[in-house]
Amino acid sequence: THKTRVFSGIQPSGGLTLGNYLGALKRFSEAQDQGIETVYCIVDLHAITVWQDPATLRHATRELAAGFIAAGVDPARSILFNQSQVSAHAELAWIFNCVARMGWLNRMTQFKDKAGKNRENASVGLFAYPNLMAADIMAYHATHVPVGEDQKQHLELARDIAIKFNNDFGVNFFPVVEPMIEGPATRVMSLRDGTKKMSKSDPSDQSRINLTDDADAIAQKIRKAKTDAEPLPTTLEGLEGRPEARNLVNIFAALSDSTPAGVLEEFAGQGFGTFKPVLADLAVARLGPINAEMTRLLQDPAEIDRILGQGAERADAIARPIIEQAYDIVGL
């Protein structure tokens, strides 16, 4: 019985990839264009769970805001803001730190990946990150969260937190959020290794397409992407055991608003010598205007700050009454 409201966030941890675009940003603007209420957040409090240089972080926040807008998020129709400007996120995260169990967080694979071997030296914030993410969502009573597949486990934790909070206090206060992990590009893979996800933290720049790459760089990275020597098959089953081929087909499908099966219908029997140049042209045609718009927006940082300030006021107007009710339920 909660009203449909979409929430999602991205960290300003430097650089946006084609994976962020297809798995997140593109879908954010699609939800907005369907007329659903959409709330999008630059999650800078998440970014500082690992070391950030302050000046670099400030720039990355503006760059990410420009990325959202260039990818089609319209600050007039969506609420677009910066997490640290709305205190409800940190306040609700503390309550959730007291709801979530150590055992739940101990199972989070992203913490294990990010902390690596040096677990004892990871920040407490990195460990508690999923509680803050749950607070981000629930501070708006959001019902749906568009994300890539890598966030699935965190969303399950958010659901567990909502259920436990509601049970512990005998209320039906927080909606149990539905993940929206849909479409052909929920997990865009590295261009160098089809078994690893495309990520800004991959040491090889050849493994990813950055939204700031120019046309030559995009075309060159696709031309050099790892593939096999087989032609494209007629059916999806023919892509089994061929992760690199499957990834390029998925990317093509997402960029052309088609499906992997639709792409194979068009290219079955063709080799990568034919397929890659068409994919490169498509990627340049789609990403070029986004890159140009980001560059244009970044020429006026004060305007970006103004947009984020207005977004924060609108976000706070929704979140403030919710956090006040949460305090009241808890007895604070």
Interface segment toward ligand ADP; rule CB under 6 A; list 101-109, 156-164, 180-188, 252-260: 180-188
Tell me which residues touch Na ion (CB under 5 A): 150
Q: Which of 200, 226, 242, 314 binds ligand ADP (CB under 6 A)?
A: 200
| Nearest-approach distance from CB 50 to ligand ADP, in angstroms | 10
Q: Is 198 annotated as a binding residue?
A: yes
Active site residue 197: yes
Contact 200, 14 (CB under 8 A): yes
CA neighbor of 93 nearest in space, from 124, 135, 127: 135
Q: Is 10 in the site for ligand ADP (CB under 6 A)?
A: yes
Structure tokens at 93: 């995260």
Q: Which of 152, 164, 200, 226 is catalytic?
A: 200
Q: Which of 26, 197, 221, 276 is catalytic?
A: 197
Instruction: Please state, in angstroms and rounded to a whole number, the distance separating the CA atoms of residues 332 and 289.
Output: 49
Single-letter amino acid code for the residue at 65: A
Helix (H, G, I), strand (E, B) or coil at 205: helix
User: Please, which residue, 126 or 329, has the CB nearer to ligand ADP?
Assistant: 126
| Nearest-approach distance from CB 150 to Na ion, in angstroms | 5
Name the binder of 62 from ligand ADP, Na ion, none, CB < 5-8 A by kind: none
Q: Is 243 annotated as a binding residue?
A: no
Q: Is 108 annotated as a binding residue?
A: no
Instruction: Please state, in angstroms and rounded to a whole number, the distance separating the CA atoms of residues 325 and 165.
Output: 13
| Nearest-approach distance from CB 204 to Na ion, in angstroms | 18
Q: Is 150 in the site for ligand ADP (CB under 6 A)?
A: yes
The beta strands (E) that lie in the chain are given as 5-10, 37-42, 79-82, 144-146, 178-180
Greatest alpha-carbon span in the chain: 66
- Cα torsion through 310, 136, 179, 158, rounded to 10: -170
Q: Is 148 in the site for ligand ADP (CB under 6 A)?
A: yes
Q: Kindly report the CA angle at 197 between 192 and 200, in degrees rounded to 5?
A: 85
User: Please, which residue, 49 or 227, has the CB nearer to ligand ADP?
Assistant: 49
Active site residue 117: no
Q: Is 130 in the site for ligand ADP (CB under 6 A)?
A: no
Q: Is 153 annotated as a binding residue?
A: no
Active site residue 200: yes
Q: Is 201 annotated as a binding residue?
A: yes
| Reduced 3-state DSSP string for 296-321 | HHHCCHHHHHHHHHHHHHHHHHHHHH
| Nearest-approach distance from CB 64 to ligand ADP, in angstroms | 9
Q: Which of 6, 11, 135, 213 binds ligand ADP (CB under 6 A)?
A: 11
Q: Which of 114, 152, 164, 226 is catalytic?
A: 114
Name the binder of 200 from Na ion, ligand ADP, none, CB < 5-8 A by kind: ligand ADP
DSSP string covering 253-271? HHHTT--HHHHHHHHTT--
Radius of gyration of the chain (CA): 20
Q: Which of 60, 80, 142, 188 binds ligand ADP (CB under 6 A)?
A: 188
Q: Is 148 annotated as a binding residue?
A: yes
Structure tokens at 171: 């209320």
The site for ligand ADP, by CB under 6 A, has a size of 20
Name the binder of 219 from Na ion, ligand ADP, none, CB < 5-8 A by kind: none
Q: Is 283 in the site for ligand ADP (CB under 6 A)?
A: no
Q: What are phi and psi of 198, to 5 degrees?
A: -65, 130
Burial pattern 151-170, b for ≥16 Cβ within 10 A else e, equals: beebbbbbbbbbebbbeeee
Burial of 147 (0-12, 13-18, 19+ CB in 10 A): buried
Task: Please report, in range form, the residues annotated as the binding site for ATP.
Answer: 11-13, 19-20, 148-150, 188, 197-201
Task: Please report, in range form, the residues annotated as the binding site for L-tryptophan.
Answer: 136
Catalytic residue IDs: 114, 197, 200
Task: Please report, in range form, the residues annotated as the binding site.
Answer: 11-13, 19-20, 136, 148-150, 188, 197-201
